[in-house]
Chain A
Amino acid sequence: MYAQMIKSEASKDDPEKLAEFQAKIDADIKVEPRDWMPEGYRKTLIRQIGQHAHSEIVGQLPEGNWITRAPTLERKMILLAKVQDEAGHGLYLYAAAETLGVSRDELTEMLLDGRMKYSSIFNYPTLNWADIGAVGWLVDGAAIMNQVPLQRTSYGPYSRAMIRICKEESFHQRQGYDIMMKMAQGTEAQKKMAQDALNRLWYPSLMMFGPSDAESVHSTQNMAWKIKMNTNDELRQKFVDQTVPQAEYLGLTIPDENLKWNEDKGGYDYSDPDWTEFFNVLKGNGPCNTDRLEARNKAWDDGAWVRDGLMAHAEKKRAAKTAAE
């Protein structure tokens, strides 16, 4: 999931108004930008949508890492189109956040100086070509688990952005699995790449859902507001159950000795990821945190003269037009 561990903000609003607001959400009436909303709802949404947007933008980097090395012209185009979609999705999400009274540049600054986070998964490296397959298959697969229900989220602009994103994303997971199939059916070296990618990305993918939050107050509030639709454990279980047979089809081994079908619960038992590692990554100690933030900061800083230049030109044109009228 691209938004992890979103803390909900307390609201100090009039209890009667809060109850009215909750009734509206319970009745599945969408909240729109100009409607009254509790301050906590607004702030929590900015945090969540912002983090989601940042994840799309930073998420361009690990996959973009292979655009110039894609092995065929067609793979290069598919990957480029996919990474481009991620920029688009970031753009849609920032626009949804902007309806809540924060600007895109403000959100960007908060990402760049570390005040806001992005998904832990993008702090892991893509080391061989099969990683591009595994990212599509596992990472997009995990993201879709969360994004599909979010199409029904209570905040109108967020819901509409998710609908558009889900529609466009439908090819992302498939292209990833398509690469995995080629690799798994390929030469010994390709099979080795595929297994290596799965070994490295399996637990980080499980981490995407965040630690168990069944008992968390934030989770309860965010679910009541319908900005979080399922608990982390529900989604993680669903993801494991969906992915295990796909891995079997590929002839790849999921790196978990404890993985086995549990008839009673109708799902797989599996090992938890190493949560110490997860919290370390969140703190900035993942394998790529520094590189990712440096790359984003460099793009932003190096681009300042371009943004300013084009703006200055637009202002000159506007002034000339006004003078002529």
Chain B
Amino acid sequence: MANVDKEMLAQFLLRMGDNSLILGHRVSEWCGHAPVLEEDIALANTALDLIGQTQLWLGYAAEVIGDKTADDLAFLRDVWDFRNILLVELPNGDFGQTLMRQFLYDAYQSILLPRLAKSSDPRVAEIAEKASKEAAYHVERSADTVVGLGDGTEESHARMQTALNKLWPYVGEIFASDAVDAAMAASGIAPDPASLRAEYDALVGNVMAEATLTIPEGDFAHLGGRTGATHTEHLGHLLTQMQWLQRAYPGASW
């Protein structure tokens, strides 16, 4: 592995792990409440994959940071320590919004992870190898659902367009590279996110065209999640619930 600043590597791993943790948590909120049994089961699989990936990413992050576990990082950090993109912390909304968010995220992961599987860091490569297989299935499924609902009934079309309009301004953050990304790219650990944008736009553009949905004009992007500078108000509430037992009964073993 190339010589890399530990602090930078830790930030990168937290970004990976926090994305899958927070999205996995959001998706798990659907369990028992989905529109049809088959979707309930499929969503739970997605959530299980994401939380499984979290254990790996945060597990590695914990080693790099030192003297921590994946659980410590998940349950004992506050909002400003989280490095997930804003997209994944937004509330679920209706099923259409959840699936639109899932697709926008899966599309990104399906492009990023195969590249990470060739990372100069063998641990990153190993985790990405496993996760990329899961992401390949996730994106196939969420794309199908977005297409089905976009090109379904008048109502489903309208709901999917509303979801896309709402979520699109959160897509830009995925590709907003900074010093951490530059360090990862320089050491061959991870590609510069900005370099993935063209492929992402092509993939998303095709699916939206098939779904008869229109990608909104403008390139405004809400930022602040992956740097931790400005999360949405929603993340605090999510953590309040997720971390409650660990916070209320410190030091207990579960």
A and B: direct contact (Cβ < 8 Å)? yes
Which A residues lie at the B interface, using CB under 8 A? 57, 60-61, 64, 67-77, 80-81, 83-84, 87-88, 90-91, 94, 129, 179, 182, 186-187, 189-190, 295, 298-300, 302-314, 316
Q: Is B149 a contact of A309 with CB atoms below 8 Å?
A: yes
Residue pairs across A and B with Cβ atoms less than 8 A apart, 20 shown, are: A60-B32, A67-B28, A69-B242, A71-B246, A74-B55, A77-B52, A84-B48, A87-B44, A91-B38, A94-B37, A129-B245, A182-B254, A190-B252, A295-B32, A302-B35, A307-B36, A308-B152, A309-B156, A312-B152, A313-B149
Q: Which of B28, B29, B156, B254 contacts A75 (CB 8 A)?
A: B254
Distance of B103 from chain A, by nearest CB (Å): 14
Q: What residues of B have a CB within 8 angstroms of the CB of A313 in the complex?
A: 147-149, 151-152
- Contacts A94-B37, A310-B145 given; 9 further ones with Cβ under 8 A? A73-B51, A74-B55, A84-B44, A87-B44, A299-B35, A306-B36, A308-B152, A309-B156, A310-B148
Chain A binding surface SS class: helix
Whether, in the assembled complex, B200 has its beta carbon less than 8 Å from a beta carbon of chain A, the answer is: no
Among A57, A61, A69, A83, which residue has its beta carbon within 8 angstroms of that of B245?
A69
Query: Is B95 an interface position by the 8 A CB rule?
Result: yes
Kindly report which residue of chain A lies nearest to residue B58, judged by CB atoms.
A73
Inter-chain contact B39/A84, CB cutoff 8 Å: no
Does B40 lie within 8 Å of A87, measured CB to CB?
Answer: yes
User: Contact between B253 and A308 (Cβ–Cβ < 8 Å)?
Assistant: no
Q: Which 8 A-B pairs have the closest CB atoms?
A: A303-B35, A309-B156, A309-B152, A60-B32, A84-B44, A64-B32, A71-B254, A306-B35
CB distance from A184 to the nearest CB of B (A): 12
- Decide yes or no: A69 and B52 within 8 Å by CB, A295-B32, A306-B156, A313-B149 being known contacts: no
Known: A80-B47, A84-B44, A87-B37. A305 touches B155 (CB 8 A): yes
Assuming the A-B contacts A87-B44, A88-B41, are A69 and B244 also in contact, with contact meaning beta carbons closer than 8 angstroms in the complex? yes
With a CB–CB cut-off of 8 A, which chain B residues contact A76?
28, 51
B253 touches A182 (CB 8 A): yes
Closest Cβ–Cβ distance, residue B156 to chain A (whole Å): 3
Contacts of B58 in A (CB 8 A): 73
**Chain B residues near A186 (CB, 8 Å)?**
252-254
Partner of B70 from the list A73, A88, A300, A311 (CB cut-off 8 Å) is A73
Q: Which residue of B lies closest to A104 (CB)?
A: B37
Within the assembled complex, what's the spacing in Å between the Cα atoms of A81 and B148?
A: 27
Chain A-chain B contacts (Cβ-Cβ < 8 Å), number:
146
Complex contact B159–A305 (CB within 8 A): yes
Query: CA of A94 to CA of B52 in the docked complex: distance in angstroms?
Result: 30
| Complex Cα spacing A91 to B251, Å | 40
Is A68 touching B242 in the complex (CB atoms < 8 A)?
A: yes
B96 contacts A by Cβ under 8 Å? yes
Distance between B16 CB and nearest chain A CB, rounded to angstroms: 15
Contact B254 A84 (CB under 8 A): no
**Given A306-B149, A313-B148, residue A299 in contact with residue B244 (CB < 8 A):** no
Q: Which residues of B contact A74 (CB under 8 A)?
A: 55
User: Cβ of B11 < 8 Å from any Cβ of A?
Assistant: no
Q: Which of B29, B58, B249 has the most CB of A within 10 A?
A: B249
B117 to chain A, nearest CB (A): 23
* Cα separation A72 to B253 with both chains bound (whole Å): 9
B35 to chain A, nearest CB (A): 2
CA distance A301 to B148 in the complex (A): 19
Contacts A81-B44, A305-B159, A310-B148 given; indicate if A67 touches B31 (C-beta within 8 A): yes
Known contacts being A69-B244, A84-B45, A187-B249, is A295 close to B33, with CB within 8 Å?
Answer: yes
